[in-house]
Amino acid sequence: DGAGLDLDMTGDLVWPTATIFCRYLCDRAPELLRDKRVMDLGAGTGLVGLVARQLGCTSVTLTDVPRVLPLLEENVAGMNSAGCDTVAAPLWWGDKAACEKLVAQRGS
């Protein structure tokens, strides 16, 4: 009947490209992230941002649409410990005011 087919589940999956990017960061580029601030837009499960966190970032902000936030917050909570300020925040792509506010709060 098509019921529920309009629900976007992209934020609930770890995409193959996320896994490949994480492998690249771990194998070839950990020095790029050490002591940096990272903002992951459309973080989904948070895998890339959480890997960045483990590679020495000082701050990681993971964003996604509000529907995805509970899973993202749970994953962040499971990782939070001393050493890196890590938060999950709601963000709709294209919402310029919200982007500017988030950058002002969590950016440079």
Q: Each residue's pLDDT tens digit in the chain (108 positions)?
A: 445 545 677 788 898 999 999 999 999 888 889 999 999 999 999 999 999 999 999 999 999 999 999 999 999 988 766 678 899 999 998 899 999 999 999 876
Position 18 scores a pLDDT of: 94
| Alpha-carbon Rg for the chain in angstroms | 14
Q: What pLDDT sits at residue 84?
A: 82
pTM of the model: 0.84
Lateral strand order in the sheet of 85-90: 37-40, 59-64, 85-90
Residue 85: φ, ψ to 5°: -75, 110
DSSP state of 85: E
